[in-house]
Amino acid sequence: MAETLPSVLIIDENPTRASIIEAGLSAAGHTQVMVISEMSGIAAKIALHEPDVIVINLENPNRDMLENMFQLSRAVKRPIAMFVDRSDKEAMQSAIDAGVSAYVVDGLRQERVKSILDMAISRFNAFSRLERELEEARGALEQRKVVEQAKGLIMKSRGVDEDTAYKLLRKAAMNGNRKIVDVAESLVMSAGLLGNEGTE
Amino acid sequence: MMIELSAGFLPLTDSAILIAAREHGFAEAEGIALNLVRETSWANVRDKLAVGQFEISHALAPMPIASNLGLTPFDCRLIAPMALGLGGNAITVSSALLERMRQGGAFEMMDAKAAGHALARVVRAGRAEARKPLQFGVVHPFSGHNFELRYWLAASGIAPDEDIEIVILPPPLMADALASGQIDGYCVGEPWNTVGVIQGAGRIITTKSSIWASSPEKVLAVREDWAEQNAPTLHALLRALYRAAEWCGQPSNHIELANLLSSPKYLGQPAGVILPALDGSILGEAGSAASPDFFQPHGRAATFPWQSHALWFYSQMVRWGYVTHSAAHAETARRSYRPDIYRTVLSEIGVPVPSANSKVEGALQRTIAVGASSQFLYLGPDGFFDGTIFDPDRLDAYIDNQKV
């Protein structure tokens, strides 16, 4: 008889990230995956669902509460321990670097848990990468806006076309050994200070 | 060249020494670029120390002891070569519970004994009426909060775990939990008591300094292997933190310190909420006297890691069943605190350092000048509110006595 895969509870206040992990686990054949983003009544929920593995993100301020509950609570009937055993420092390191931690019920075999944690780690890392890229894209968009604004200011005060305005900006940057966006930023800022809003 | 060091901290007023060391140039002057990382749980601090993301951290005083006794998930030996101040916690209860406590008669706020008696009356009445036990929150099982709350309850005739259920909650969520009626009281570090009072969730009924005067709260936790391999850096760090503690202890710096701590990257609370813990005007009943002893970052050898403090925490870990007592365990607990390192480093720069590693807790009824390696050092008072003495040389007897 094929062994059923362990049931997993994901505790994450970020629903997007939780659903990415959930999807990954489902794709890997896990049929019992539950997501919780609300900590209230957590003991009762754990007692009801009796998950084999609990995955939680490190920013969650309730880890201390959760760990204490595993040790003492009458509601949680099966003993739950931190997954990474004392010898497996590498797995623990990558989990913590990724920002995730896991707890498992006692007696669950290591190799059955490892694939779940590996999945959580890779999805956490992918999510952080996405967030970083989004942040960078936002930054790039902001920079483009500033350059556009500076070009507008130059066009208005010098009466030149867009192309010439950009060349003037680039020349000023080269002469001053600065980035175009930095020159544009100081131009927009000083225009603001001098009360010359005039790009629109 | 600057040496980079990463330290974890939790948003609490007693992280002040680390923050001042970074922000006021004390670390820099010793060639250390101190990188402070705000954490959301003590579990994170423990794990990041274990995997080497942190070399050092703001830590609960019993944490290195618990770690060295193998009570944590990972093998990670920690030492406490310095304490990060004395006191700084308080016990806050909901307005509803306070009203019930007052029904038996008025009691002086900040008087741990009177507050304990008042609570015991409520508990006895609750038992008679078969009410559900009161719930109190603390931040971590291996914390000064848990052990001083339990000590106070037990010495007041209340049985923790039977008469009162103790639950774990993160400090920033305490006030909300109290306001929503989820818990009836909590024991936590500042500013989270003052936050609860200002939100109207409850009132402070007593303080850590009233339960046990000059009592330990946070320490600098250092990975033992790192400390052994980087002694010069550790020594530089201790000098920097000592200077920072001196600065934090100056009353003329309290407003600046409150402003510093209030920054969103540190506590993220208004300076006005942080200041009462620093200047001792911690909110009690209207008209109650200020308590300048409430939090001591520097005076009374506040940064000296007394081994008697480590052993007292150990005695409470035994008392409440976290560990079994043996001579070997007691020795592990005692050696988790390293006054030897502190003494070597700081006496070199002329700091008055206690010449003993341990003291009899509760022996000093008032502040006195004691023998130090140089100059005078003022210690105490250091008594427990119930008058019991803790003599670290009579640990076995103390542990036996607290069974009854």
Q: What pLDDT, on the 0 to 100 scale, is given for residue B205?
A: 92
Listed residue (B112, B196, B59) closest to B383, CA to CA: B112
ipTM score for this prediction: 0.88
Q: Which CATH number fits domain B89-211: 3.30.200.20, 3.10.129.10, 3.40.640.10, 3.40.190.10?
A: 3.40.190.10
d(C-alpha B173, C-alpha B202), whole Å: 14
pLDDT tens column, B232-280:
999 999 999 999 999 999 999 999 999 999 999 999 999 999 999 998 8
Is the per-residue pLDDT at B169 higher than 50?
Answer: yes
Q: What pLDDT, on the 0 to 100 scale, is given for residue B377?
A: 86
Q: What pLDDT, on the 0 to 100 scale, is given for residue B404?
A: 62
Mean per-residue pLDDT, B133-150 = 97
A115 close to A28: Cβ distance less than 8 angstroms: yes
- For residue B271, give both structure tokens: 């300076």
The more confident residue out of B240 and A75 is B240
Residue partners of B327: CB distance under 8 A and separation at least 6: none
pLDDT band at A83 (very low <50, low <70, confident <90, very high): low
pLDDT tens column, B328-367:
999 999 999 999 999 999 999 999 999 999 999 998 888 8
Q: What pLDDT, on the 0 to 100 scale, is given for residue A86?
A: 53
Q: What pLDDT, on the 0 to 100 scale, is given for residue B146?
A: 98
pLDDT tens column, A137-151:
888 888 899 999 999
Q: Do B44 and A58 touch (CB under 8 A)?
A: yes
Q: Do B170 and A62 touch (CB under 8 A)?
A: yes
d(C-alpha A97, C-alpha B51), whole Å: 9
What is the dihedral sign for C-alpha B330, B333, B335, B340? Answer: negative
Q: Is the bond into B381 cis (omega within 30 degrees of 0)?
A: yes
Q: Do A93 and B139 touch (CB under 8 A)?
A: no
Q: Do A63 and B43 touch (CB under 8 A)?
A: yes
Q: What pLDDT, on the 0 to 100 scale, is given for residue A84?
A: 59
Q: Do A92 and B42 touch (CB under 8 A)?
A: no
Nearest-CB residue to B51 (from A64, A65, A93): A93
Is the per-residue pLDDT at A43 higher than 70?
Answer: yes
A154 C-beta neighbours (distance < 10 Å), count = 22
Nearest-CB residue to A96 (from B47, B141, B173): B47
Angle (CA) A159-A152-A172 rounded to 5° is 85
Q: What pLDDT, on the 0 to 100 scale, is given for residue A106?
A: 77
B164 close to B158: Cβ distance less than 8 angstroms: yes
Is the per-residue pLDDT at A169 higher than 50?
Answer: yes
Is the per-residue pLDDT at A136 higher than 80?
Answer: yes
Q: What pLDDT, on the 0 to 100 scale, is given for residue B287?
A: 52
Is the per-residue pLDDT at A115 higher than 90?
Answer: no
pLDDT band at B289 (very low <50, low <70, confident <90, very high): low
Residue type for A81, please? A
Q: What pLDDT, on the 0 to 100 scale, is given for residue B371?
A: 67
B27 close to B202: Cβ distance less than 8 angstroms: no
pLDDT band at A85 (very low <50, low <70, confident <90, very high): low
pLDDT band at B380 (very low <50, low <70, confident <90, very high): confident
Q: What pLDDT, on the 0 to 100 scale, is given for residue B374?
A: 59
Nearest-CB residue to B169 (from A59, A65, A82): A65
C-alpha A183 chain-centroid distance? 32
B46 C-beta neighbours (distance < 10 Å), count = 29
Q: What pLDDT, on the 0 to 100 scale, is given for residue A3?
A: 67
Distance (Å) from the C-alpha of residue A120 to the closest C-alpha of chain B? 17
Is the per-residue pLDDT at A200 higher than 70?
Answer: no
Q: Do B73 and A96 touch (CB under 8 A)?
A: no
SS3 call for B204: strand
A44 touches chain B (CB under 8 A): no
The model carries a pTM of 0.87
Mean per-residue pLDDT, B189-205 = 94
CA B157 → CA B115, B177, B285, distances in Å? 12, 26, 24
pLDDT band at B285 (very low <50, low <70, confident <90, very high): low
SS3 call for A57: strand
Residue of A nearest to B44 (CA): A58
Residue partners of A49: CB distance under 8 A and separation at least 6: A7, A9, A34
Q: Do B73 and A86 touch (CB under 8 A)?
A: yes
A67 touches chain B (CB under 8 A): yes
Q: Do A61 and B41 touch (CB under 8 A)?
A: yes
- For residue A34, give both structure tokens: 């539950």
Q: What pLDDT, on the 0 to 100 scale, is given for residue A77?
A: 67
Q: Do B51 and A84 touch (CB under 8 A)?
A: no
Mean per-residue pLDDT, A61-85 = 75
Nearest-CB residue to A96 (from B51, B75, B170): B51
Is the per-residue pLDDT at A107 higher than 80?
Answer: no
pLDDT tens column, B96-109:
999 999 998 887 76
Nearest-CB residue to B44 (from A63, A69, A89): A63
Q: What pLDDT, on the 0 to 100 scale, is given for residue A71?
A: 75
pLDDT tens column, B31-90:
999 999 999 999 999 999 998 999 999 999 999 999 999 998 777 899 999 999 999 999
Q: What pLDDT, on the 0 to 100 scale, is given for residue A177?
A: 86
Write a three-state SS string for B164-200.
EEEEECCHHHHHHHHHCCCCCEEEEECCHHHHHHHCC
Average pLDDT of chain B to the nearest whole number:
93
CATH 3.40.190.10 fits B3-86+217-268+303-351, yes or no: yes
Residue of B nearest to A60 (CA): B40
Which of B37, B47, B72 should we substitute to test contact with A (largest number of A Cβ atoms within 10 Å)? Answer: B47
Q: Do A65 and B170 touch (CB under 8 A)?
A: yes
CA dihedral A140, A142, A148, A152 (to 10 degrees): -160
- For residue B113, give both structure tokens: 């004994």
- For residue B4, give both structure tokens: 């980079």
Domain ranges of chain B: 3-86+217-268+303-351, 89-211
Q: Which of A188-192, B27-31, B138-142, B247-251 has the lowest mean pLDDT?
A: A188-192
B337 close to B305: Cβ distance less than 8 angstroms: yes
Please determine whether the domains at B3-86+217-268+303-351 and B89-211 fall in the same fold group of CATH: yes
pLDDT tens column, B296-338:
999 999 999 999 999 999 999 999 999 999 999 999 999 999 9
Using the CB atoms, write b or e for A28-50: b if 16+ within 10 Å: eebeebbbbeebeebbebbbeee
B96 C-beta neighbours (distance < 10 Å), count = 12
Q: What pLDDT, on the 0 to 100 scale, is given for residue A198?
A: 45
